[in-house]
Structure 1
Amino acid sequence: MMISVSDAGNFLAEYTAWLWGCGATCIRIEKNVERISHTFGMETEVTVMPRHVQLAVRRENSGSMVVFVRKTMRCGINFSINTGLSRLSWEIADRKIGLDEARKRFNRIVSAGYDRPWQVLLLTSLANASFCRLFGGDFVAMCVVFFATLAGFYLKQIMLCYNRDIRFAFLCCAFFSAAISAGAYVFGWGKTPEIAMATSVLYLIPGVPYINSASDLIDGHYLCAFSRFTDACVLTACLSAGLCGGILLFGIGWL
Structure 2
Amino acid sequence: MTRIDDASATSAVPVASAGCVCGGEIHSLKEICLFISEYSAWLLGCGATCIRLERNVMRMAEALGCGVVMTILPRHIHLSVCLPDKSDSYTYITATRTLPISFDINTRLSELSWALADGKINFEEAKVQFDSIIRTPPADKNLVLLLASLANASFCRLFTGDWAAVAVVFLSTLAGYYLKQVLCEHKVDLRLVFILCAFVSSVLGASDALFNLGTTPEIAVGTSVLYLVPGIPFLNSFSDMLAGHYICSFCRFIHAVILTCCLSIGLCGGLLMMNLGMF
Q: How big is each residue's C-alpha offset from its partner over 1:149-208, in whole Å with a ceiling of 9 and x where there is no partner?
A: 122122222222333322222112111211111122212211111110100011111111
Relative to structure 2, which stretch is displaced further, 94-103 or 205-214?
Answer: 94-103
Relative to structure 2, which stretch is displaced further, 228-237 or 40-49?
Answer: 40-49
State the 1:103 CA deviation.
Answer: 2.1
Q: Specify the structure having the higher radius of gyration (Cα).
A: 2
Long gaps (5+) in structure 1: none
Identify if the C-alpha distance between structure 1 residues 231 and 113 changes in structure 2 by more than 3 Å, giving closer, same or farther: farther
Identify if the C-alpha distance between structure 1 residues 158 and 112 changes in structure 2 by more than 3 Å, giving closer, same or farther: farther
1:5 aligns with 2:32: no
State the 1:21 CA deviation.
Answer: 1.1
1:1-255 alignment to 2 at 5 Å? 1-255=25-279
Contact 1:80–1:115 (Cα < 8 Å) also in 2: no
Q: Which TM-score applies when normalising by structure 1? A: 0.94
More helix by percentage: 1
Counterparts of 1:6 and 1:63, CA distance in 2: 14
| Secondary structure at 1:81 match in 2 | helix
CA RMSD of aligned residues (A): 1.5
Long gaps (5+) in structure 2: 1-24
Q: Percent identity?
A: 48
Counterparts of 2:182 and 2:127, CA distance in 1: 29
Aligned residue-pair number: 255
Q: Which TM-score applies when normalising by structure 2? A: 0.87
Identify if the C-alpha distance between structure 1 residues 250 and 84 changes in structure 2 by more than 3 Å, giving closer, same or farther: same
Counterparts of 1:30 and 1:137, CA distance in 2: 43
| Secondary structure at 1:2 match in 2 | strand
Counterparts of 1:164 and 1:83, CA distance in 2: 28
Identify if the C-alpha distance between structure 1 residues 177 and 158 changes in structure 2 by more than 3 Å, giving closer, same or farther: same
Counterparts of 1:203 and 1:91, CA distance in 2: 35
Relative to structure 2, which stretch is displaced further, 79-88 or 222-231?
Answer: 79-88
Contact 1:206–1:236 (Cα < 8 Å) also in 2: yes
For CA contacts below 8 A with separation 6 or more, give which structure has more relative contact order: 1
Q: How big is each residue's C-alpha offset from its partner over 1:47-101, in whole Å with a ceiling of 9 and x where there is no partner?
A: 1001101101012333332111111111132211111211111122224423332
Relative to structure 2, which stretch is displaced further, 171-180 or 28-37?
Answer: 171-180
Contact 1:149–1:203 (Cα < 8 Å) also in 2: yes
State the 1:113 CA deviation.
Answer: 4.1
Counterparts of 2:185 and 2:109, CA distance in 1: 21
